[in-house]
Chains A and B, each alone.
Chain A
Amino acid sequence: MISSTTRHRNNSEAEPFPVGYKSTILKEFVDSLEGLKDARTLDLGPVCQENITFFALRMGRHYVCDMFLRSKQEKRKGLHPGGGWKPLDYPDRHFDGIQLWDLCDHLEDDDVNRLVEQSYSMLKATGLLMLIAFEKKPASSIVNTFVIGQDYQMDIRPQPHLELPWKFRHNRALTSLLSNFTIVRSFRYHSGIREFLFKKPGGFRD
Protein backbone atom coordinates (compact mmCIF):
# COMPACT_ATOMS: atom_id res chain seq x y z
CA MET A 1 0.00 0.00 0.00
CA ILE A 2 1.30 3.39 -0.90
CA SER A 3 1.39 6.07 1.72
CA SER A 4 1.20 9.36 -0.03
CA THR A 5 -0.63 11.88 2.09
CA THR A 6 1.54 14.63 3.37
CA ARG A 7 0.88 17.99 4.83
CA HIS A 8 2.66 20.21 2.41
CA ARG A 9 4.43 22.91 4.34
CA ASN A 10 4.32 25.44 1.54
CA ASN A 11 0.68 24.75 0.86
CA SER A 12 -0.77 24.79 4.35
CA GLU A 13 -2.08 28.32 4.12
CA ALA A 14 -5.56 28.80 2.87
CA GLU A 15 -5.96 30.24 -0.59
CA PRO A 16 -9.03 31.77 -2.16
CA PHE A 17 -10.56 29.57 -4.78
CA PRO A 18 -9.90 30.43 -8.38
CA VAL A 19 -12.80 31.98 -10.21
CA GLY A 20 -12.79 29.65 -13.15
CA TYR A 21 -10.73 28.15 -15.91
CA LYS A 22 -11.07 26.35 -19.19
CA SER A 23 -10.52 22.64 -18.75
CA THR A 24 -8.28 21.03 -21.32
CA ILE A 25 -8.45 17.62 -19.72
CA LEU A 26 -12.24 17.60 -19.64
CA LYS A 27 -12.37 18.46 -23.32
CA GLU A 28 -9.99 15.64 -24.11
CA PHE A 29 -11.99 13.26 -21.92
CA VAL A 30 -15.25 14.18 -23.66
CA ASP A 31 -13.82 14.22 -27.18
CA SER A 32 -12.40 10.74 -26.69
CA LEU A 33 -15.61 9.23 -25.37
CA GLU A 34 -18.23 11.14 -27.34
CA GLY A 35 -17.58 9.21 -30.51
CA LEU A 36 -17.92 5.78 -28.88
CA LYS A 37 -21.08 3.82 -29.38
CA ASP A 38 -23.13 3.61 -26.16
CA ALA A 39 -20.40 5.11 -24.01
CA ARG A 40 -20.94 4.78 -20.27
CA THR A 41 -19.50 7.36 -17.93
CA LEU A 42 -19.49 7.50 -14.14
CA ASP A 43 -19.39 10.69 -12.08
CA LEU A 44 -18.46 10.22 -8.44
CA GLY A 45 -19.96 13.50 -7.35
CA PRO A 46 -20.83 15.87 -5.90
CA VAL A 47 -24.23 15.81 -7.58
CA CYS A 48 -24.39 18.66 -10.08
CA GLN A 49 -27.28 19.18 -12.44
CA GLU A 50 -25.28 21.01 -15.09
CA ASN A 51 -22.68 18.25 -15.27
CA ILE A 52 -25.22 15.43 -15.35
CA THR A 53 -27.09 17.12 -18.19
CA PHE A 54 -23.85 17.82 -20.02
CA PHE A 55 -22.81 14.17 -20.00
CA ALA A 56 -26.27 12.67 -20.41
CA LEU A 57 -26.65 14.61 -23.65
CA ARG A 58 -23.32 13.40 -24.98
CA MET A 59 -22.89 9.84 -23.75
CA GLY A 60 -25.13 6.81 -24.06
CA ARG A 61 -25.67 6.36 -20.35
CA HIS A 62 -24.37 8.63 -17.63
CA TYR A 63 -24.08 7.19 -14.11
CA VAL A 64 -23.82 9.26 -10.95
CA CYS A 65 -22.85 8.00 -7.51
CA ASP A 66 -22.07 10.81 -5.08
CA MET A 67 -19.18 9.49 -3.01
CA PHE A 68 -18.57 12.88 -1.40
CA LEU A 69 -21.92 12.70 0.35
CA ARG A 70 -21.35 9.11 1.33
CA SER A 71 -17.88 9.88 2.69
CA LYS A 72 -19.34 12.63 4.82
CA GLN A 73 -22.11 10.41 6.12
CA GLU A 74 -19.62 7.70 6.89
CA LYS A 75 -17.51 10.11 8.91
CA ARG A 76 -20.52 11.49 10.72
CA LYS A 77 -21.79 8.05 11.67
CA GLY A 78 -18.30 6.91 12.66
CA LEU A 79 -18.57 3.88 10.40
CA HIS A 80 -15.63 1.67 9.66
CA PRO A 81 -13.58 3.22 6.85
CA GLY A 82 -14.36 1.57 3.58
CA GLY A 83 -17.96 0.85 4.47
CA GLY A 84 -18.96 3.79 2.34
CA TRP A 85 -17.70 2.08 -0.80
CA LYS A 86 -20.60 -0.35 -0.93
CA PRO A 87 -22.59 1.87 -3.33
CA LEU A 88 -19.80 1.44 -5.87
CA ASP A 89 -21.13 -1.98 -6.73
CA TYR A 90 -20.92 -1.67 -10.50
CA PRO A 91 -19.71 -4.62 -12.58
CA ASP A 92 -16.13 -4.90 -13.73
CA ARG A 93 -15.24 -3.36 -17.10
CA HIS A 94 -18.52 -1.44 -17.16
CA PHE A 95 -17.44 2.15 -17.87
CA ASP A 96 -15.63 3.96 -20.63
CA GLY A 97 -14.87 6.94 -18.44
CA ILE A 98 -14.83 7.85 -14.75
CA GLN A 99 -14.68 11.36 -13.29
CA LEU A 100 -13.16 11.56 -9.86
CA TRP A 101 -12.99 15.37 -9.79
CA ASP A 102 -11.15 16.26 -6.54
CA LEU A 103 -12.44 13.29 -4.54
CA CYS A 104 -8.93 12.03 -3.79
CA ASP A 105 -8.14 15.36 -2.09
CA HIS A 106 -10.69 14.48 0.58
CA LEU A 107 -9.78 10.87 1.28
CA GLU A 108 -7.20 9.12 3.42
CA ASP A 109 -4.63 6.94 1.71
CA ASP A 110 -6.45 3.67 2.40
CA ASP A 111 -9.61 5.00 0.87
CA VAL A 112 -7.80 6.45 -2.14
CA ASN A 113 -6.17 3.09 -2.75
CA ARG A 114 -9.56 1.42 -2.53
CA LEU A 115 -11.10 3.98 -4.86
CA VAL A 116 -8.35 3.65 -7.45
CA GLU A 117 -8.53 -0.14 -7.28
CA GLN A 118 -12.29 -0.10 -7.82
CA SER A 119 -12.05 2.47 -10.58
CA TYR A 120 -9.52 0.30 -12.36
CA SER A 121 -11.83 -2.71 -12.13
CA MET A 122 -14.90 -0.78 -13.25
CA LEU A 123 -13.18 0.71 -16.30
CA LYS A 124 -13.08 -1.07 -19.61
CA ALA A 125 -9.72 -1.56 -21.28
CA THR A 126 -8.64 1.78 -22.79
CA GLY A 127 -11.15 3.52 -20.48
CA LEU A 128 -10.30 6.98 -19.19
CA LEU A 129 -10.11 8.33 -15.68
CA MET A 130 -10.16 12.07 -15.01
CA LEU A 131 -8.85 13.51 -11.79
CA ILE A 132 -8.46 17.00 -10.34
CA ALA A 133 -6.28 17.95 -7.39
CA PHE A 134 -5.71 21.27 -5.69
CA GLU A 135 -2.16 22.35 -5.15
CA LYS A 136 -2.91 24.79 -2.36
CA LYS A 137 -5.16 24.45 0.61
CA PRO A 138 -8.64 25.76 -0.09
CA ALA A 139 -9.91 28.59 2.09
CA SER A 140 -12.45 26.35 3.75
CA SER A 141 -13.12 22.66 4.14
CA ILE A 142 -16.37 23.01 2.24
CA VAL A 143 -16.28 20.86 -0.87
CA ASN A 144 -16.80 22.52 -4.23
CA THR A 145 -18.44 21.31 -7.37
CA PHE A 146 -16.64 21.87 -10.65
CA VAL A 147 -19.49 23.08 -12.80
CA ILE A 148 -19.09 22.59 -16.55
CA GLY A 149 -19.98 25.70 -18.50
CA GLN A 150 -19.88 26.67 -22.14
CA ASP A 151 -16.80 25.61 -24.08
CA TYR A 152 -15.45 23.68 -21.08
CA GLN A 153 -15.23 26.74 -18.89
CA MET A 154 -15.24 25.44 -15.32
CA ASP A 155 -16.75 27.33 -12.44
CA ILE A 156 -16.68 26.37 -8.84
CA ARG A 157 -19.78 26.15 -6.66
CA PRO A 158 -19.49 25.55 -2.90
CA GLN A 159 -21.50 22.72 -1.38
CA PRO A 160 -22.19 23.90 2.18
CA HIS A 161 -23.66 20.52 3.09
CA LEU A 162 -20.32 18.86 2.34
CA GLU A 163 -17.41 19.58 4.63
CA LEU A 164 -14.48 17.24 4.33
CA PRO A 165 -10.82 17.62 5.33
CA TRP A 166 -8.35 18.35 2.54
CA LYS A 167 -5.20 16.32 1.91
CA PHE A 168 -2.30 17.44 -0.20
CA ARG A 169 -0.57 14.99 -2.49
CA HIS A 170 2.42 15.70 -4.68
CA ASN A 171 2.19 14.90 -8.37
CA ARG A 172 4.50 11.97 -7.84
CA ALA A 173 2.32 10.61 -5.05
CA LEU A 174 -0.78 10.89 -7.20
CA THR A 175 0.77 9.16 -10.17
CA SER A 176 2.14 6.45 -7.86
CA LEU A 177 -1.36 5.84 -6.55
CA LEU A 178 -2.50 5.42 -10.13
CA SER A 179 0.52 3.51 -11.30
CA ASN A 180 -1.61 0.77 -12.87
CA PHE A 181 -2.88 3.36 -15.31
CA THR A 182 -1.05 5.05 -18.14
CA ILE A 183 -0.92 8.79 -17.76
CA VAL A 184 -2.26 10.41 -20.91
CA ARG A 185 -1.97 14.06 -20.05
CA SER A 186 -1.70 16.40 -17.13
CA PHE A 187 -1.86 20.14 -16.65
CA ARG A 188 -1.21 22.61 -13.93
CA TYR A 189 -3.14 25.85 -14.18
CA HIS A 190 -1.99 29.19 -12.80
CA SER A 191 -4.78 28.92 -10.25
CA GLY A 192 -3.10 25.91 -8.69
CA ILE A 193 -5.54 23.37 -10.03
CA ARG A 194 -3.98 20.21 -11.38
CA GLU A 195 -5.79 18.03 -13.86
CA PHE A 196 -4.84 14.49 -14.83
CA LEU A 197 -6.12 12.13 -17.47
CA PHE A 198 -5.29 8.46 -17.03
CA LYS A 199 -6.02 5.50 -19.24
CA LYS A 200 -6.50 1.86 -18.40
CA PRO A 201 -4.04 -0.14 -20.48
CA GLY A 202 -5.34 -2.51 -23.10
CA GLY A 203 -5.37 -2.97 -26.82
CA PHE A 204 -9.10 -2.79 -27.45
CA ARG A 205 -12.15 -1.46 -25.72
CA ASP A 206 -13.88 -4.28 -23.75
Chain B
Amino acid sequence: MLKRTKKDENNTSFSVGNTVEEKPAPSTPRPAVRQERYTSDKNTTIGAGITIEGSIRGEENLVIEGTMKGNIEMGKHNFSIGPKGRLDGEIQAQDVSINGQFKGTIKALGKVAVTKEADFNGEIKAKSFSVEDGAYFKGVVELDREPHKKSTVTETPGAPSSPETARQPVLPSSDFKMEK
Protein backbone atom coordinates (compact mmCIF):
# COMPACT_ATOMS: atom_id res chain seq x y z
CA MET B 1 0.00 0.00 0.00
CA LEU B 2 1.28 3.42 -0.83
CA LYS B 3 1.11 6.16 1.73
CA ARG B 4 0.90 9.62 0.32
CA THR B 5 2.44 12.43 2.30
CA LYS B 6 1.42 15.64 0.69
CA LYS B 7 2.06 19.12 1.93
CA ASP B 8 -1.10 20.35 3.56
CA GLU B 9 -2.82 22.65 1.10
CA ASN B 10 -4.31 24.79 3.85
CA ASN B 11 -0.91 25.35 5.35
CA THR B 12 0.50 26.27 2.00
CA SER B 13 -2.28 28.75 1.34
CA PHE B 14 -1.89 30.21 4.79
CA SER B 15 1.80 30.64 4.29
CA VAL B 16 1.29 32.36 0.97
CA GLY B 17 -1.43 34.54 2.49
CA ASN B 18 0.89 35.65 5.26
CA THR B 19 3.53 36.57 2.78
CA VAL B 20 1.08 38.57 0.78
CA GLU B 21 -0.22 40.44 3.83
CA GLU B 22 3.25 41.54 4.83
CA LYS B 23 3.95 43.05 1.44
CA PRO B 24 2.68 46.47 0.39
CA ALA B 25 1.66 45.28 -3.07
CA PRO B 26 -0.63 42.29 -2.50
CA SER B 27 -1.79 42.20 -6.07
CA THR B 28 1.55 40.98 -7.35
CA PRO B 29 0.90 37.57 -8.92
CA ARG B 30 2.58 34.59 -7.33
CA PRO B 31 5.66 33.67 -9.33
CA ALA B 32 5.30 30.62 -11.49
CA VAL B 33 8.37 29.12 -9.86
CA ARG B 34 6.55 28.97 -6.56
CA GLN B 35 3.66 27.08 -8.11
CA GLU B 36 6.06 24.59 -9.65
CA ARG B 37 7.77 24.14 -6.32
CA TYR B 38 4.47 23.39 -4.67
CA THR B 39 3.71 20.79 -7.31
CA SER B 40 7.04 19.06 -6.85
CA ASP B 41 6.57 18.98 -3.08
CA LYS B 42 4.11 16.13 -3.50
CA ASN B 43 5.71 12.99 -2.17
CA THR B 44 4.69 9.39 -2.12
CA THR B 45 6.31 7.18 0.47
CA ILE B 46 6.51 3.43 0.35
CA GLY B 47 6.55 2.54 4.02
CA ALA B 48 9.03 0.43 5.91
CA GLY B 49 6.68 -2.52 6.12
CA ILE B 50 6.07 -2.70 2.38
CA THR B 51 7.78 -5.07 -0.07
CA ILE B 52 7.30 -4.58 -3.80
CA GLU B 53 8.38 -6.63 -6.77
CA GLY B 54 7.75 -4.84 -10.03
CA SER B 55 8.15 -1.46 -11.66
CA ILE B 56 6.95 1.96 -10.58
CA ARG B 57 6.36 4.87 -12.93
CA GLY B 58 5.22 8.20 -11.56
CA GLU B 59 4.86 11.93 -11.92
CA GLU B 60 5.67 12.97 -8.39
CA ASN B 61 8.48 12.48 -5.95
CA LEU B 62 8.92 9.04 -4.44
CA VAL B 63 10.57 7.84 -1.25
CA ILE B 64 11.19 4.19 -0.49
CA GLU B 65 11.44 3.24 3.16
CA GLY B 66 10.61 -0.38 2.50
CA THR B 67 12.02 -3.03 0.18
CA MET B 68 11.70 -3.10 -3.55
CA LYS B 69 12.98 -5.17 -6.45
CA GLY B 70 12.29 -3.59 -9.81
CA ASN B 71 12.69 -0.43 -11.82
CA ILE B 72 11.74 3.13 -10.96
CA GLU B 73 10.82 5.73 -13.61
CA MET B 74 10.09 9.14 -12.16
CA GLY B 75 10.79 11.31 -15.20
CA LYS B 76 11.61 14.81 -13.97
CA HIS B 77 10.74 14.04 -10.37
CA ASN B 78 12.96 13.08 -7.51
CA PHE B 79 13.51 9.71 -5.93
CA SER B 80 15.12 8.68 -2.69
CA ILE B 81 15.79 5.58 -0.64
CA GLY B 82 15.37 6.13 3.10
CA PRO B 83 17.89 4.94 5.70
CA LYS B 84 16.13 1.61 6.10
CA GLY B 85 14.99 1.34 2.52
CA ARG B 86 16.33 -1.18 0.06
CA LEU B 87 16.14 -1.32 -3.72
CA ASP B 88 17.48 -3.67 -6.36
CA GLY B 89 16.89 -2.31 -9.82
CA GLU B 90 17.18 0.64 -12.15
CA ILE B 91 16.30 4.23 -11.27
CA GLN B 92 15.48 7.00 -13.72
CA ALA B 93 14.69 10.33 -12.09
CA GLN B 94 15.64 13.98 -11.82
CA ASP B 95 17.58 13.95 -8.55
CA VAL B 96 18.30 10.77 -6.62
CA SER B 97 19.24 10.41 -2.98
CA ILE B 98 20.50 7.12 -1.58
CA ASN B 99 20.42 6.78 2.21
CA GLY B 100 19.84 3.03 2.41
CA GLN B 101 20.79 -0.06 0.44
CA PHE B 102 20.94 0.05 -3.32
CA LYS B 103 22.09 -2.34 -5.99
CA GLY B 104 21.64 -1.45 -9.63
CA THR B 105 21.85 1.45 -12.05
CA ILE B 106 20.92 5.11 -11.66
CA LYS B 107 20.30 7.46 -14.56
CA ALA B 108 19.64 10.92 -13.20
CA LEU B 109 18.95 14.11 -15.12
CA GLY B 110 20.34 16.08 -12.19
CA LYS B 111 22.22 15.08 -9.11
CA VAL B 112 22.85 11.80 -7.33
CA ALA B 113 23.61 12.05 -3.61
CA VAL B 114 24.87 9.13 -1.54
CA THR B 115 24.92 9.60 2.23
CA LYS B 116 27.20 7.94 4.74
CA GLU B 117 24.38 5.63 5.85
CA ALA B 118 24.19 4.17 2.35
CA ASP B 119 25.33 0.79 1.12
CA PHE B 120 25.76 1.37 -2.60
CA ASN B 121 26.69 -1.13 -5.27
CA GLY B 122 26.05 -0.05 -8.81
CA GLU B 123 26.41 2.43 -11.62
CA ILE B 124 25.64 6.13 -11.77
CA LYS B 125 25.08 8.32 -14.81
CA ALA B 126 24.28 11.85 -13.75
CA LYS B 127 24.99 15.51 -14.18
CA SER B 128 26.57 15.81 -10.75
CA PHE B 129 27.37 13.55 -7.86
CA SER B 130 28.00 13.76 -4.14
CA VAL B 131 28.96 11.13 -1.61
CA GLU B 132 29.60 11.51 2.09
CA ASP B 133 32.79 10.22 3.65
CA GLY B 134 32.08 6.86 5.24
CA ALA B 135 29.55 5.63 2.72
CA TYR B 136 29.87 1.98 1.78
CA PHE B 137 30.38 2.53 -1.92
CA LYS B 138 31.28 0.25 -4.75
CA GLY B 139 30.34 1.80 -8.02
CA VAL B 140 31.01 3.28 -11.39
CA VAL B 141 30.43 6.98 -11.89
CA GLU B 142 29.89 8.67 -15.24
CA LEU B 143 29.19 12.39 -15.17
CA ASP B 144 28.11 14.64 -18.01
CA ARG B 145 31.39 15.96 -19.27
CA GLU B 146 32.09 19.43 -20.52
CA PRO B 147 33.93 19.75 -23.82
CA HIS B 148 37.41 18.47 -23.27
CA LYS B 149 39.48 20.92 -21.32
CA LYS B 150 43.18 20.39 -21.28
CA SER B 151 44.76 20.56 -17.87
CA THR B 152 45.81 24.06 -16.92
CA VAL B 153 48.72 22.86 -14.86
CA THR B 154 51.96 24.18 -16.21
CA GLU B 155 55.18 22.93 -14.85
CA THR B 156 58.77 23.32 -15.87
CA PRO B 157 60.76 20.17 -15.28
CA GLY B 158 63.24 20.66 -12.51
CA ALA B 159 61.85 24.05 -11.52
CA PRO B 160 59.19 23.66 -8.85
CA SER B 161 56.71 26.50 -8.81
CA SER B 162 56.56 26.79 -5.04
CA PRO B 163 58.57 25.64 -2.04
CA GLU B 164 55.94 23.01 -1.25
CA THR B 165 56.52 21.35 -4.57
CA ALA B 166 60.23 21.00 -4.08
CA ARG B 167 61.00 17.37 -4.47
CA GLN B 168 63.75 14.92 -4.96
CA PRO B 169 63.77 11.58 -6.67
CA VAL B 170 64.01 8.63 -4.32
CA LEU B 171 65.08 6.06 -6.85
CA PRO B 172 67.55 6.10 -9.68
CA SER B 173 64.88 4.67 -11.92
CA SER B 174 62.68 7.70 -11.36
CA ASP B 175 64.05 9.39 -14.44
CA PHE B 176 62.15 7.11 -16.78
CA LYS B 177 60.22 8.99 -19.40
CA MET B 178 56.56 8.20 -19.80
CA GLU B 179 55.52 6.54 -22.99
CA LYS B 180 52.40 8.22 -24.25
Q: How many residues of A contact B (CB 8 A)?
A: 50
**Contacting pair A161 B134 (CB below 8 A):** yes
A-B contact pairs, 10 of them (CB 8 A): A47-B133, A56-B143, A57-B143, A60-B142, A63-B140, A63-B141, A66-B137, A87-B138, A189-B166, A190-B166
- Residues on the A chain within 8 Å of B137, using CB: 47, 64, 66
Q: How many residues of B contact A (CB 8 A)?
A: 40
Give the top 5 A-B pairs by smallest Cβ distance, nearest first.
Answer: A56-B143, A56-B141, A188-B170, A22-B165, A186-B174
**Contacting pair A188 B133 (CB below 8 A):** no
**Contacting pair B133 A157 (CB below 8 A):** yes
Q: Which of B4-12, B30-38, B147-155 contacts A (4 or more CB under 8 A)?
A: B147-155
- Residues on the A chain within 8 Å of B18, using CB: none
B residues with a Cβ closer than 8 A to A are 116, 128-143, 145-146, 151-153, 155, 161-162, 164-171, 173-176, 178-180
Residue of B nearest to A28 (CB): B178
Knowing A46-B133, A47-B131, A159-B134, the reply to whether A187 touches B170 (Cβ < 8 A) is yes
A184 to B169, CA, bound (A): 12
A20 to B162, CA, bound (A): 12
**Contacting pair A186 B170 (CB below 8 A):** yes
A53 to B128, CA, bound (A): 8
**Contacting pair A24 B140 (CB below 8 A):** no
**Contacting pair A64 B139 (CB below 8 A):** yes
Residue of B nearest to A184 (CB): B176
**Contacting pair B171 A24 (CB below 8 A):** no
**Contacting pair A187 B174 (CB below 8 A):** yes
- Residues on the B chain within 8 Å of A182, using CB: 176
Residue of A nearest to B121 (CB): A87
A126 to B178, CA, bound (A): 10
Most chain A CB within 10 A, of B134, B140, B141, B142, is at: B141
Query: Which of B129, B168, B175 interacts with A188 by CB under 8 Å?
Result: B168
- B166 CB to nearest A CB, Å: 6
Q: Which of A2-10, A30-38, A101-109, A114-122 contacts B (4 or more CB under 8 A)?
A: A30-38
